Amino acid sequence: MAKTETVHTRVTHDIKEQADAIFSRLGLTTSQAIMLFLTASVNKNGLPFELTVPSKEEEDLIFATSIATVDGVAPSEKAQKIMRLYSRGEIDYETAEYAIERIYKQ
C-alpha cells in the first residue's frame, strides 16, 4: 500500500530528542515508531495502551515518590513503605515526614 498521507505534529525539543533516542535503540526511526503506533491503534480499534485515571491513593503515592526522589535516585524501601502508609491514610503527613527524615539521617 502506497504511503500518501503526511502527519504533522508539534512537540517540545526535549520530548523529540528523548523519543528519538529510545526509537534509535530499538532500531526504529521516529516515523517508523509513529507508523507502528497508528497501525496498533487501528488494529486495536483504540489506543494500543490503557489510559486510566489514577486513584487518590495512587496519585498520593506518585506525588510522595516524586518528592522523595533526590537527584534521580528513588527512595529506599523503608521510605516507600512509609509513603504507602501515608497514601492510604494510615498515617498523617507529619508522621510520614518525621519517619522519612529519620531514615535519611541514619
Give the mean model confidence (pLDDT) for residues 3-27: 91
Whether 106 shows a pLDDT value over 70: the answer reads no
Which tens digit of pLDDT belongs to each residue from 45-73? 998 888 777 788 787 777 777 766 766 67
Whether residue 38 sits in one domain with residue 14: yes
Name every residue whose Cβ is closer than 8 Å to that of residue 75 and which is 6 or more positions away in sequence.
65, 68, 69, 83, 100
Mean pLDDT of all residues belonging to the chain: 84
Whether 35 shows a pLDDT value over 90: the answer reads yes
Domain range for 28 is: 1-51
Whether residue 64 sits in one domain with residue 47: no
Whether residue 70 sits in one domain with residue 26: no
pTM over the 0.95 mark: no
Number of domains in the chain: 2
